[in-house]
A and B are shown apart, each in its own frame.
Chain A
Amino acid sequence: MATQSSRSAARIMMAPAVFLLLVWMLVPLCMTLWFSLRDYRPLRGGDLGFVGLENFARFVSSSSFWPAVFTTVLIVGGVLLVSIVFGVLLAMLLDQPMWGQGVVRILVIAPFFVMPTVSALVWKNMFMDPTNGVFAHIWRAFGADPVVWLTDVPILSLILIISWQWLPFATLILLTAFQSLDSEQLEAAEMDGANPLARFFFIALPHLSRAITIVILIQTIFLLAVFAEIFVTTGGAFGTRTLTYLIYQRVLESQNVGLGSAGGVYAIILANIVALFLMRIVGKNLDR
Chain B
Amino acid sequence: MGRITLDKVRKAFGDVEVIPPLDLTIEDGEFVVFVGPSGCGKSTLLRLIAGLEDVSGGEIRIDGQDATMVPPAKRGLAMVFQSYALYPHMSVRKNIAFPLRMAGLDRAEQERRVKAAAEVLNLTDYLDRRPGQLSGGQRQRVAIGRAIVREPAAFLFDEPLSNLDAALRVGMRLEISELHKRLKTTMIYVTHDQVEAMTMADKIVVLRAGNIEQVGSPLELYRAPRNTFVAGFIGSPKMNLITGPVAAQHDATTIGIRPEHIRVTEGAGDWQGTVGVSEHLGSDTFFHVTCAGIAEPLTVRVGGEVDLRYGDTVHLTPDPEHLHRFDAQGLRIA
Contact = CB atoms under 8 A, between A and B. Distances in A.
B1 interface: no
B54 interface: yes
Nearest to B13: A2
Nearest to A3: B54
A63 interface: no
B52 A1 contact: yes
A4 interface: yes
Interface in A175-199: none
B248 to A, nearest CB: 50
Contacts of A1: 52-53
A4 B52 CA distance: 11
B209 to A, nearest CB: 23
Contacts of A3: 52-54
A73 B53 CA distance: 54
Report the interface size class on chain B: under 10
Contacts of B53: 1, 3
Interface string A1-27: 101100000000000000000000000
A4 B69 CA distance: 11
Nearest to A1: B52
A117 B127 CA distance: 55
A7 to B, nearest CB: 10
Contacts of B52: 1, 3
Tell me the dominant secondary structure on chain A's binding face: loop
A9 to B, nearest CB: 13
Nearest to B51: A3
Interface string B27-65: 000000000000000000000000011100000000000
Contacts of A4: 54
A83 to B, nearest CB: 38
A48 to B, nearest CB: 56
Interface in A110-163: none
Nearest to A2: B53
A178 to B, nearest CB: 27
A37 B148 CA distance: 72
A256 to B, nearest CB: 54
A5 to B, nearest CB: 9
A184 B52 CA distance: 41
A1 B52 CA distance: 6
A3 to B, nearest CB: 5
A6 to B, nearest CB: 10
A4 B51 CA distance: 12
A4 B53 CA distance: 9
A198 B265 CA distance: 60
Contacts of B54: 3-4
A263 B54 CA distance: 54
Interface string A73-111: 000000000000000000000000000000000000000
B53 to A, nearest CB: 7
A4 to B, nearest CB: 6
Interface in B80-103: none
A4 B55 CA distance: 11
B79 to A, nearest CB: 12
B54 to A, nearest CB: 5
B211 to A, nearest CB: 24
A1 B54 CA distance: 9
A230 B52 CA distance: 57
A1 to B, nearest CB: 6
A214 to B, nearest CB: 30
A3 B53 CA distance: 6
B205 to A, nearest CB: 23
Interface string A46-79: 0000000000000000000000000000000000
A272 to B, nearest CB: 33
A184 B260 CA distance: 43
Nearest to B72: A3
A1 B85 CA distance: 14
A3 B51 CA distance: 9
A104 to B, nearest CB: 30
B278 to A, nearest CB: 33
A8 to B, nearest CB: 13
A5 B54 CA distance: 10
B151 to A, nearest CB: 25
A1 B72 CA distance: 11
Interface in B238-264: none
A161 B121 CA distance: 64
A240 B95 CA distance: 62
A3 B13 CA distance: 12
B128 to A, nearest CB: 31
Nearest to B54: A3
A147 B81 CA distance: 69
Nearest to A4: B54
A4 B54 CA distance: 8
A1 B47 CA distance: 9
A1 B53 CA distance: 6
Interface of A: 1, 3-4
Closest A-B pairs by Cβ, 6 of them = A3-B54, A1-B52, A4-B54, A3-B53, A1-B53, A3-B52
Interface of B: 52-54
5 contacts: A1-B52, A1-B53, A3-B52, A3-B53, A3-B54
